[in-house]
Structure 1
Amino acid sequence: MSQATTLARPYARAIFMLAKEVGSLKDVSEALAFSAQAVSVPHLADMLDDPRVSVAQLLDLISHPEAPESVRGFFSVLSENGRLPLLPEIYALFEALRAESEHVVRANITSAEPLSAESLKSLTDALKKRFGGDVEVQTAVDASLIGGAVIDAGDVVIDGSVRNKLARLNANLAN
């Protein structure tokens, strides 16, 4: 676990609890996503430590125009503590907390070739059945898998790639 994640965790929990309390998980999520992306821009990231840039100017630069006032206050606290660079980690942890509270499983499907809409729907339906709830799927393509796919859904990894099957066959033949 990285130090940034460790530092970001209490902030993510705090903003999550606040957002849940006022019923604005979606709005806060959008605001955090915008700001996490903003502080990742190299030129803007350099400004985070520039004493010539006021806190108000920074907040104007990184805040989503429609962000709830609570988020702007949260960013002020982050700024006072020198934690604005942690926004990408805070956002990722916030989204994990949000998914858990909404009983949504996030799955990454990496396949050797782009999946057809029919294959993706079939895999998504199977994952919904396996996890007993909603599933958000992201896809990626990795030709080194040779064929098949790898599904990473948090604690569960299903490796149905040809590369993995060949590696297991090779290990079995070597023994």
Structure 2
Amino acid sequence: MALDKYTIGQRYGTALLDLATEQGTIDAVYADVAALQQVFADTPTLAATLTNATLTLEQKQPILTSLQQGATDSVKNLIQMVFDYGRMNEMPFILAAFMQRYDQVNGIVHAKVTSAVALTTEQQQALSTQLATRLGAKQITIDNTVDEAVIGGVIVEANNLVIDGSIRSKLAQVRQLLLG
């Protein structure tokens, strides 16, 4: 039975987090994973190139070497192992799983906040504090998106939870009550 990309990502990502925690290199590994994640995001064909059967190992080696350059030993070994097992297509899932587990362990929650106007720094800080209390998180990072259709208030999406405090939803509720 073949494993799906998500399962592979979870297994490798969790293993990398456990190894980095055990070695006390969690912050350095986090920085390397974030940088590697950006490389894969900026170069969507990278994984396909590294798994391309028509290219020789000698053609792939310079790419692999550049990915490993300056990385911690744990990340270098991860890159090499994933390459050796022919799983480079799963690397974005592995990196995402590591970041997700890192955030869970450190109490970090990423919230998407939609508002009618851009939130000020003070508003984001106040919302972050309220969300941290409500979600039991140590740190909240806010990605603010502007959508004038919200009219007022905010819609927060975080940890599979949606908090809709928008005027648009309040008007929709009133409309439903009136229409019976």
Q: TM-score, normalised by structure 1?
A: 0.84
Name the CA shift for 1:10/1:108 in 2 (closer, same or farther; >3 Å).
same
Number of aligned residues: 172
Deviation at 1:46, TM superposition (A): 4.3
Residue 51 of structure 2 aligns to a residue whose secondary structure is coil
Task: Report the equivalent of 1:91.
Answer: 95
Task: Report the equivalent of 2:117.
Answer: 113
Residue 28 of structure 2 aligns to a residue whose secondary structure is helix
Distance 2:123 2:145 in 1: 14
Aligned-pair identity (%): 28
After TM superposition, the structure 1 = structure 2 runs for residues 23-172 of structure 1, keeping only pairs within 5 Å, are 23-40=24-41, 41-50=43-52, 51-54=55-58, 56-63=61-68, 65-143=69-147, 144-172=149-177
Unaligned runs of 5+ in 2: none
Task: Look up the equivalent residue of 2:26 and give its one-letter code.
Answer: L
Distance 1:116 1:155 in 2: 25
Deviation at 1:111, TM superposition (A): 1.7
Distance 2:137 2:10 in 1: 26
Task: Look up the equivalent residue of 1:68 and give its one-letter code.
Answer: T
Distance 2:133 2:40 in 1: 38
Unaligned runs of 5+ in 1: none
Task: Look up the equivalent residue of 1:146 and give its one-letter code.
Answer: I
Task: Look up the equivalent residue of 2:174 and give its one-letter code.
Answer: L
Residue by residue over 1:57-111, the C-alpha shift from the partner in whole angstroms, topping out at 9 and shown as x without a partner, is 2322323x33111211111111122222222222222122112212233322222
Distance 2:159 2:174 in 1: 26
Q: CA RMSD in A?
A: 2.1
Distance 1:142 1:17 in 2: 38
Distance 1:92 1:115 in 2: 28
Q: TM-score, normalised by structure 2?
A: 0.82
Instruction: Answer yes or no: is the 8 Å Cα contact 1:111–1:145 preserved in 2.
Output: yes
Task: Look up the equivalent residue of 2:115 and give its one-letter code.
Answer: S
